[in-house]
Amino acid sequence: MIIQRADLFKDLGPEVMNEISKIMVEESYEPGKLIFEAGSPAQFFYILTEGRVRLYIGTKAEISYTVNIPGEAFGWTGLVDRPEYIATAECVLPSKILKIEKERLAKIFEKDTASGMLFYKRLAGAVVQRLIYNYEYFQSAGDLKEVIPSYG
């Protein structure tokens, strides 16, 4: 199962993984198809199993990121307590995606708080990696004029 290889789910126990597998829905998308749009309710998060998805913010895709590694998660805005997606997700290639409802996942982690803590710790790491990627991208493109350091 691909989610067992995904960083977010690594080292979670078999009982928790079994419960999570019961709430996953596999969906297929063709190129150009939107999975979600910025501003729409953030009820699900997604894991890429095959293909390529472009995430972008802004009407002209001023900020974009490509999800192309099987097991990579995206659409996790709702997991960090934001009511709406901040980006739009569009398939670039034919793609297969696992969709997980955030409320049902939260109920699983309420029963096993240690697994929930591990999952959210890994999610925080994924968020940091995405921030670093975007920072380096904008810095190399010369779009960052002045950077105020963050010490936290």
Average pLDDT for the chain? 87
pLDDT of residue 142: 64
Contact (Cβ atoms closer than 8 angstroms) between residue 80 and residue 4: no
| Total Cβ atoms within 10 A of residue 56 | 17
Residues sharing a CB contact under 8 Å with residue 148, sequence separation 6 or more, in sequence order:
none
User: 3-class DSSP state for residue 44?
Assistant: strand
Residue 54 phi, psi dihedral angles, 5° rounding: -105, 125
pLDDT of residue 1: 61
pLDDT of residue 150: 53
CATH superfamily of 2-102: Jelly Rolls (2.60.120.10)
pLDDT of residue 21: 94
Q: Which residue positions in the chain have pLDDT lower than 70? A: 1, 4, 60-62, 134, 137-138, 141-152
* pLDDT tens digits for range 23-40: 999 999 999 999 999 999
* pLDDT tens digits for range 101-123: 999 999 999 999 999 999 999 98
pLDDT of residue 65: 80
Residue of 42, 49, 2 lying closest to 21 (CA atoms): 2
- Rounded-to-integer distance, Cα 32 and Cα 54, Å: 10
pLDDT of residue 145: 54
The token pair that represents 132 in the structure block = 């670093």
